[in-house]
């Protein structure tokens, strides 16, 4: 069965390009962007690995560790990283899981047999410091992921946790957020002394910093 939002991310021990990891220890007090790839030495994956490396500071700002996975060995990953660095003009520092036996890909339902019997599709798991899965996204092999969206959802989740709010369609940092319907107007006045706009009883906007 697929993993769902709110599930604890299953733990595992596995070799990566930065040595053996215990996933829960790796998470520690950070958020994690765990993302799978069909295979090393493939074009779309090369651009995604490069983009993740280029965004290292953006992930760090959000206390988020990237962890890649593809169903190849550490040796293959290490050779491929040289190509990623050369072609994407970057230095890839985050670990990549060597899941050549497909153990983690099976555990995380990253293999979708209708797409491929052997290679992982492009799965994304955003995991919080409590080890809970907070977001999942699944892209087909032919479509590279949107990294602006990945950073945006991390911002939205962290803003939601910090302020007890929800975020509207296409929300970006600095834009108005939504007061959840479970909060009464009386509670909202206390919680959001900056005030709020009540467009409908169930649609109330406020600003948070």
Residue 96 burial (C-beta neighbours within 10 Å; 0-12, 13-18, 19+): buried
Q: Dump strand ranges (E) for the chain.
A: 13-16, 19-22, 31-37, 64-70, 96-98, 122-127, 133-139, 177-178, 197-200, 203-206
Angle at 111 between CA 106 and CA 119, to 5 degrees: 110
Q: How near is the Cβ of 24 to ligand BEZ at its closest, in Å?
A: 29
- Does the protein bind ligand BEZ through residue 113 (CB under 6 A)? no
Q: Which of residues 34-63 bind ligand BEZ (CB under 6 A)?
A: 38-39, 42-45
Q: How near is the Cβ of 74 to ligand BEZ at its closest, in Å?
A: 19
Query: Does the annotation mark 45 as catalytic?
Result: yes
Site string for ligand BEZ, 149-188 (x = CB under 6 A): ----------------------------------------
CB 177 within 8 A of CB 163: yes
CB 106 within 8 A of CB 71: no
Among 55, 67, 141, 154, binds ligand BEZ (CB under 6 A): 141
Q: Which of residues 61-90 bind ligand BEZ (CB under 6 A)?
A: none
Query: Which positions lie near ligand BEZ, rule CB under 6 A?
Result: 38-39, 42-45, 141-142
User: Which residues are annotated as catalytic?
Assistant: 45
């Amino acid at each position: 069965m697929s993993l769902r939002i709110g599930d604890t991310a299953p733990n595992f021990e596995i070799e990566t390009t930065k040595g053996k990891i215990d996933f829960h220890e790796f998470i520690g007090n950070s958020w994690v962007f765990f993302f799978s790839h069909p295979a090393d030495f493939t074009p779309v994956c090369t651009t995604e690995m490069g983009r993740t490396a280029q965004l290292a500071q953006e992930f760090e700002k959000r206390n988020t560790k990237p962890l890649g996975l593809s169903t190849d060995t550490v040796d293959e990953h290490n050779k491929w990283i040289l190509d990623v660095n050369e072609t994407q003009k970057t230095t890839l520092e985050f670990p990549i899981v060597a899941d050549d036996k497909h153990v983690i890909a099976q555990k995380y339902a990253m293999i979708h047999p209708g797409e491929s019997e052997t290679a992982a599709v492009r799965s994304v798991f955003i995991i919080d410091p409590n080890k809970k899965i907070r977001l999942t996204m699944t892209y087909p092999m032919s479509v590279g992921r949107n990294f602006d969206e990945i950073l945006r959802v991390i911002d939205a989740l962290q803003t939601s946790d910090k302020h007890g709010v929800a975020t509207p369609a296409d929300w970006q940092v600095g834009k108005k957020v939504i007061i959840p319907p479970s909060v009464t107007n009386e509670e909202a006045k206390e919680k959001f002394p900056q005030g709020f706009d009540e467009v409908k009883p169930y649609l109330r906007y406020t600003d948070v910093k």
